[in-house]
Amino acid sequence: MTEKSSSKAQAIVTEVRRRIADREWRQGDRIPDEAELAVEFGAARATVNKALQLLAKEGLLDRKRRAGTHVTVNPTRKATLTIPIVREQIEQAGMEYSHRVVAQKKSPIPAAIAERMELPEGQMLIHLRTVHYGDGKPFQAEDRWINPAAAPGVDGIDFHRVNANEWLVRNAPWLRAEIAFSAENANARDARLLETRQGSALLILQRTTFNDLGAITTVRVAFHPGHTMIATH
């Protein structure tokens, strides 16, 4: 077995991946059971189990009790997206971070937002529009609604002085999130805020977070044209 990493389990992961990549074990094949692999790799069954569970979570293996472990036929591979805090993303790129709150007020939520937040239409939430800059150039525009009922303490905050993203991350951790990506042509406001021309293609990230008390916040983030999000395998 090719030892590629420090841990035994990781070595098993690597070796099984190699066998699949090299087609020693083909799509649909049943692979030896945990006990046999444990003997072959000189490891305990628990260690083999850990390795195979990881590969199953990755989508490379299908595991079923009694039926054994099979190489996935149509592997739907998963990619992990890391959604960083804007400020950190900008500073990590070696730019100077700044932001500007364009609007902060209490408003009744429109139908689309109500649906996303699973709240009744017309409820009064905090509505916030912010632009984040790197070295003075617009990086992303945020359109955010915050539900004070699920984020205690938010009412007294002046988001002109405190970064909403960071305040929320620190003061209202979420239990569940819904995230969606899409592309939209910049509308007049997007264009103005991002200092680009109307109609240019923007990557849009839409995220709603929930805790026991319900929806905390929903945000539509419009990235500057040309922005790329990287996902890691």
Partner DNA sequence: TTAACCTCTATGTCTAAACTTATTTTGACG
Partner DNA sequence: CGTCAAAATAAGTTTAGACATAGAGGTTAA
Which residues in this chain contact its own copies in the complex, by CB under 8 A? 17-18, 20-23, 27, 60, 73-85, 88, 166, 169-171, 173-185, 199-204, 211-212, 223, 225-233
Contact 141, 131 (CB under 8 A): yes
Per CB under 7 A, 132 contacts DNA: no
Which does residue 21 bind out of its own copies, DNA, none, counting CB within 5 to 8 angstroms by kind?
A: its own copies
Q: How far is the CB of 179 from its own copies (least distance, A)?
A: 4
Minimum CB distance to its own copies smaller for 41 or for 210:
210
Query: Quick one: which of 17, 63, 129, 189 contacts DNA (CB under 7 A)?
Result: 63
Which does residue 83 bind out of its own copies, DNA, none, counting CB within 5 to 8 angstroms by kind?
A: its own copies
Q: How far is the CB of 85 from its own copies (least distance, A)?
A: 5
Per CB under 7 A, 66 contacts DNA: yes
Per CB under 7 A, 42 contacts DNA: yes
Cα→Cα distances 170→129, 151, 187, 208, Å: 20, 11, 32, 16
Nearest to 53 by CA among 77, 69, 42, 76: 69
Distance CA 138, CA 69 (A): 50
CB-based burial label for 153 (10 Å; 0-12, 13-18, 19+): exposed
Per CB under 7 A, 47 contacts DNA: yes
Which does residue 200 bind out of DNA, its own copies, none, counting CB within 5 to 8 angstroms by kind?
A: its own copies
Contact 149, 215 (CB under 8 A): no
Per CB under 7 A, 60 contacts DNA: no
From first CA to last CA, the distance across the chain in angstroms is 23
- CB burial of 36-59 (b: ≥16 within 10 Å; e: otherwise) equals ebbeebebeeebbbbbbebbeeee
By the criterion CB under 7 A, which residues form the site for DNA? 6-10, 33-35, 42-47, 49-50, 52-53, 56, 63-69
